[in-house]
Amino acid sequence: MGLRIHFVVDPHGWCCMGLIVFVWLYNFVLIPKIVLFPHYEEGHIPGILIIIFYGIAIFCLVALVRASITDPGRLPENPKIPHGEREFWELCNKCNLMRPKRSHHCSRCGHCVRRMDHHCPWINNCVGEDNHWLFLQLCFYTELLTCYALMFSFFHYYYFLPLKKRNLVRNVYIN
């Protein structure tokens, strides 16, 4: 399982990747600016929660880049098939190359991929034998970042804002 660099030239995939990077940058800047930093300055949350947010966001971006540029398991043009395994190989009717039976031809990438799961437009790459674990890692970090951001958004609107309003009302009555 070599992690070779692999790029797919697909306008639809580049558009989806651009959208993902835009949403990530938007959240990387906006969530801390609106939710985390103000509540840190008010003393409602510790600074470690901000560091955890940025850490998860960076892990998410690194997983996205790794999943999108890693070779999914593209088959070589002239594979060396061991004599005892020839019955487990078949001819691809689209690219006329020999491939293992669990391989599939990707119409977007234009080649066969070992143990191909699907072509994901969000990473602009196939998910196959060599990058499947990277794709799962991306899904895990994305889910973790989403839950973390949703948790802070929930606390912002249903805990911190009413707390701020209560403190404002209390300060008005005291002064």
CA distances (Å), 73 to each of 54, 69, 107, in order? 32, 12, 15
With left for phi above 0 and alpha for psi between -120 and 50, is residue 49 left, alpha or beta?
Answer: alpha
State yes or no: is 15 an active-site residue.
no
Query: Which entry of 60, 106, 112, 120 is annotated as an active-site residue?
Result: 120
Question: Is 72:6 a contact under the CB 8 Å cutoff?
Answer: yes
From CA 137, how far away is CA 135, in angstroms rounded?
Answer: 5
Please identify every residue annotated as catalytic.
120
